């Protein structure tokens, strides 16, 4: 399939039991989960498959778990002759994309995102940060509301037309939610996360991650990978700086998709738990073809698509 791009999800798509069917059906997937356990100082498989959900939802656990599932699926597809021509991820998913592009080894990546999750969670004390999704308002209007609200709050995720996420200090986020509801937002939802991801409040976490990135063996991506910060392709020399900035910068997912569309990529497959990114792509470009590869069943369906 020409011009096929892989999309990798971020935190929030996890669920207890994810990846178990992959490990049962595909040895290459089981090998990925075993490699994850060897790279970490605990059994990731045990948490992923047995829970409890509250433990899996801890940022330092969620991030390596989603990465492991995404890489397992990528390797299953590669073993069956399906590889991407380009890749991108949302937040954490950027690491999965870089593994798919042979820029980063899986064992290095899983240790990095474990540290990343820990640093992001520790950056802001529990109960002081919040994230909310605003649906049905024009993005410039949401930006204006944030700018006119006291405290720290701004758009943290530019997902697709009519949907953004705002993040910041709890009281500021709640004020923006109330204002957006009054302005006619179709839906305003506070997310069950405990840190204001992709805001300046996490700048310290990004800098703390820098030495871990600098001692990792990062190589130029072997396929184009769009980065979240600028919505342009990584060059190789900018990997550390952009991954540091990504922690506290807005995720420009819509612009990233438009970068790929402008270069002729019209086929997308979401690699990892959930199907949220695919729904964003459909709202960005209705004529794009979107597939989901999150379970063994859906992987088989995708592999049956004529190439």
Given 82, 91, 96, 248, the catalytic residue = 91
Are 177 and 80 a contacting pair, CB within 8 Å? no
Residues contacting residue 248 through CB under 8 Å, at least 6 positions apart: 198, 199, 200, 201, 202, 203, 205, 206
Two structure tokens written together for 121? 């969670």
Q: How far apart are CA 278 and CA 289, in angstroms?
A: 9
HSE of 173 in the Cβ direction (CA atoms, 13 Å)?
27
* Whether 114 is catalytic: no
Are 85 and 265 a contacting pair, CB within 8 Å? yes
Q: How far apart are CA 173 and CA 181, in angstroms?
A: 12
* Whether 70 is catalytic: no
Are 157 and 11 a contacting pair, CB within 8 Å? no
DSSP 16: T
What are the b/e assignments for 253-287, b being 16+ CB within 10 Å? bbbbbebbbeeebbbbbbbbbbbbbbbbbeebbee
Given 13, 70, 198, 249, the catalytic residue = 198
HSE of 38 in the Cβ direction (CA atoms, 13 Å)?
9
Q: How far apart are CA 183 and CA 141, in angstroms?
A: 9
Phi, psi of 246 (to 5 degrees): -60, -35
Q: Catalytic residues, which ones?
A: 91, 198
């Amino acid at each position: 399939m020409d011009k096929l791009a892989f999309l990798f999800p971020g935190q929030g798509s996890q669920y207890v039991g994810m990846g178990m069917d992959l490990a049962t059906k595909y040895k290459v997937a089981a090998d990925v989960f075993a490699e994850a356990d060897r790279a970490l100082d605990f059994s990731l498989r045990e948490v992923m498959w047995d829970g409890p959900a509250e433990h899996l939802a801890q940022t330092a656990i969620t991030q390596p778990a989603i990465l492991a599932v995404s890489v397992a699926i990528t390797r299953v597809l590669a073993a069956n002759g399906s590889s991407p021509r380009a890749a991108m991820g949302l937040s954490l998913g950027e690491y999965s994309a870089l593994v798919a592009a042979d820029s980063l080894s899986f064992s290095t990546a899983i240790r990095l995102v474990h540290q990343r999750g820990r640093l992001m969670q520790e950056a802001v004390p529990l109960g002081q940060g919040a994230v909310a999704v605003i649906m049905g308002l024009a993005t410039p209007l949401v930006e204006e509301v944030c700018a006119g609200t006291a405290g720290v709050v701004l758009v943290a995720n530019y997902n697709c037309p009519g949907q953004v996420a705002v993040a910041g200090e709890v009281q500021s986020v709640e004020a923006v939610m109330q204002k957006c509801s009054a302005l006619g937002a179709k839906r305003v939802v506070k997310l069950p996360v405990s840190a204001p991801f992709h805001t300046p409040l996490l700048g310290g976490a990004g800098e703390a991650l820098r030495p871990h990135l600098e001692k990792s063996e990062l190589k130029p991506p072997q396929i184009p990978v769009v980065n979240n910060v600028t919505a342009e392709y990584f060059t190789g020399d900018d990997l550390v700086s952009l991954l540091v900035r990504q922690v506290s910068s807005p995720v420009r997912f819509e612009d990233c998709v438009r970068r790929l569309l402008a270069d002729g990529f019209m086929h997308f497959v979401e690699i990892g738990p959930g199907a949220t990114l695919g729904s964003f792509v459909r709202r960005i470009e209705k004529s794009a073809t979107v597939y989901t590869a999150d379970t063994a069943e859906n992987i088989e369906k995708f592999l049956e698509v004529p190439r």
